Amino acid sequence: MPHHTLLLQAATTPATSTLGTANPISILMFFLFVAVTMYITYWAAKKTKTGSEFYAAGRNISGFQNGLALAGDYMSAASFLGIAGMVATKGYDGLIYSIGFLVGWPLIMFLIAEPLRNLGKYTFADVVAYRLKQRPIRIVSSVGSLLTISFYLIAQMVGAGGLIQTLFGLPYEVAVVVVGCVMTAYVLFGGMLATTWVQIIKAVLLLSGATVLVILSLSKFGFNPLTLFSSVTEQYGDAMLAPGGFISNPWDALSLGLALMLGTAGLPHILMRFYTVPDAKAARKSVFVATGFIGYFYLLTFLIGFAAMALVGKPVIEGIDKGGNMAALLLAEQTGGTAFLGFIAAVAFATILAVVAGLTLSGASSISHDLYVHVIKKGVSDEKGEMKVAKRATLALGLLSILLGLVFKGQNVAFMVGLAFSIAASANFPALLMSIIWKRFTTRGAVWSILTGAILSLVLIVLSPTIWVDILHNEEAIFPLKNPALVSMTSAFLVGIVVSLLQPEPSAALKFESEKLRTYLGIGAE
């Protein structure tokens, strides 16, 4: 039987694992990645002078390229290592997460992408504010954006520090500072053009690295996934191939599912990418390409998780990291040796850099475009002033992300990704969708909807088992759901509708008709 030898292999892994020591291949690979991306940044800097170049890469990215870049923005190290780790330790349940992360993409395509591209300029607030009063909308939308970005950023930075420490043996603080500085350089000098190419390179590296890892792993099972599954069930039982403890309470499942699905359609750094393509047709194509690559990626992480469970072994994986985050890396080392581990580790590092760069750029554009131009300057922008603010905001966010990374060291920040998705689904998505499809949506309705979504997400997550019990160690949670989206998003929609109906805004309704040529035909789109 194959599984005796597998167990033997598993048992010998810790002694041979080089995780945590400086791996020359991964250091070389990482420097190569930084060198190439810095060269791209230098090239992009020469082409990044105007606002449209800084925020939207001059709208010259093709649909296919943007699809890859969207995939790059979305496939974080958390989903690569985290989902593979979840499958490796819990089996099938990891796939339920992947499905939730993926099914938001079709909705972006059907409801958001094209109107967003046609109506907006740089941020999603452009669309919400298009026919409503600029100042109040800009202020609250940037609150929604910046909250989403900050929580996402903290989770990424803390994850990055920990991961790099485990991978390279580099101190946590050094890792956080390096990540912060490199990504700030991309955004500050190369703007969206450099950020886009960093995403594309990272997506190609990650997809090809994961593909090779799957091929190497399946080669141990005669290239038959069924043989892999049978090795899993022989060692850990049939339960691994079916849903387990993930869903204990159906309301929890629904709430988390909605947050993952609709939060995707409210992530500022994802929405911003649609402005980099020339028109709505390219925006549409980019979602199709992104969905395909992300779906393929989740298929790979699913197989990687099971292969790690079968080949490396659950006890070994959980022995190194309880959440199983090192599963993919241990599998890489076992199937491809130290050199391949180095390659995959460098890819994981590159992944983090690319994602935080995308987040920082979208945060900076919210500060400069929404807050500085439309709130402080009341819409009268001179390009030079706006660019100066955008660059300062980038620098400030870069510093802030390093600081947050240092402050939250060793804290449990896993809930922050869920929180970011909940705010995106509750504060950003309802207002954006209603502004696109509902004629009678008003400024007041939008403001109250966004505030309701953001505040409820924050308050309810504190009262939920996620923080109230797991972090604050109280006996029982005040709010029963682990993710608040079911309540906070529904409330945001209801409040937006009720407030809009109570106090109509005739000018906004009138403008809804005249904006239709731009929404549907793209006439006058930037």
Look at the block and give the residue holding tokens 């896993």. Answer: 414
Taking CB under 8 A as the rule, does residue 247 contact another protein?
yes
Choose among 209, 235, 190, 163: nearest CA to 7: 235
- Retrieve residue 36's tokens: 């190439």
Choose one: 2-10, 89-97, 360-368, 424-432; the region binding another protein (CB under 8 A). 89-97
Largest CA distance in the chain: 75
- In this chain, which of 28, 299, 451, 469 binds another protein, going by CB under 8 A? 299
Taking CB under 8 A as the rule, does residue 204 contact another protein?
no
Site string for another protein, 91-110 (x = CB under 8 A): -x--xx-xxx-xx-xxx-xx
Instruction: Using the minimum distance from each CB to another protein, give the nearer residue, 223 or 520.
Output: 520
Which whole-number Å values give the CA distances from 171 to 155, 166, 177, 286, 414, in the listed order? 18, 9, 10, 39, 21
- Retrieve residue 30's tokens: 């990482």
CB–CB of 453/508 below 8 Å? Answer: no
- Retrieve residue 38's tokens: 């810095």
- Retrieve residue 153's tokens: 């950023």
Instruction: Using the minimum distance from each CB to another protein, give the nearer residue, 59 or 444.
Output: 59
* DSSP string for residues in 381-424: --HHHHHHHHHHHHHHHHHHHHHHHHHTTTS--THHHHHHHHHI
Instruction: Using the minimum distance from each CB to another protein, give the nearer residue, 114 or 370.
Output: 114
* Angle made by CA atoms 194, 199, 200, in degrees to the nearest 5: 100
DSSP helix/strand/coil, 58: helix
Return the residues of window 410-439 that contact another protein according to CB under 8 A: 437
- Retrieve residue 196's tokens: 């886009």
Taking CB under 8 A as the rule, does residue 523 contact another protein?
yes
Taking CB under 8 A as the rule, does residue 516 contact another protein?
yes
Taking CB under 8 A as the rule, does residue 291 contact another protein?
yes
Size of the site for another protein (CB under 8 A): 53
Instruction: Using the minimum distance from each CB to another protein, give the nearer residue, 287 or 467.
Output: 287
Instruction: Using the minimum distance from each CB to another protein, give the nearer residue, 31 or 251.
Output: 251
Instruction: Using the minimum distance from each CB to another protein, give the nearer residue, 80 or 298.
Output: 298
Choose one: 199-207, 221-229, 266-274, 361-369; the region binding another protein (CB under 8 A). 221-229
* Angle made by CA atoms 287, 290, 293, in degrees to the nearest 5: 150
Choose one: 51-59, 214-222, 251-259, 389-397; the region binding another protein (CB under 8 A). 251-259
Taking CB under 8 A as the rule, does residue 32 contact another protein?
no
Nearest distance in Å: CB 245, another protein: 10
* DSSP string for residues in 166-183: HHH---HHHHHHHHHHHH
Choose among 147, 148, 144, 247: nearest CA to 481: 247
- In this chain, which of 257, 266, 324, 453 binds another protein, going by CB under 8 A? 257
- In this chain, which of 9, 230, 235, 338 binds another protein, going by CB under 8 A? 230
Taking CB under 8 A as the rule, does residue 261 contact another protein?
yes
Taking CB under 8 A as the rule, does residue 302 contact another protein?
yes
- In this chain, which of 298, 372, 421, 479 binds another protein, going by CB under 8 A? 298
Taking CB under 8 A as the rule, does residue 250 contact another protein?
yes
Q: How far apart are CA 17 and CA 168, in angstroms?
A: 12
Identity of the amino acid at 423: I
Choose one: 205-213, 254-262, 367-375, 452-460; the region binding another protein (CB under 8 A). 254-262
Nearest distance in Å: CB 63, another protein: 10
Q: How far apart are CA 512 and CA 526, in angstroms?
A: 18
Report the half-sphere exposure of 510 (CA within 13 A, side-chain side): 3
Distance of CA 192 to the CA centre of its chain: 17
Interface residues toward another protein, by CB under 8 A: 92, 95-96, 98-100, 102-103, 105-107, 109-111, 226-227, 229-230, 233, 238-239, 241-243, 246-247, 249-250, 253-254, 257, 261, 281, 284-285, 287-288, 291-292, 295, 298-299, 302, 437, 513-514, 516-517, 520-524
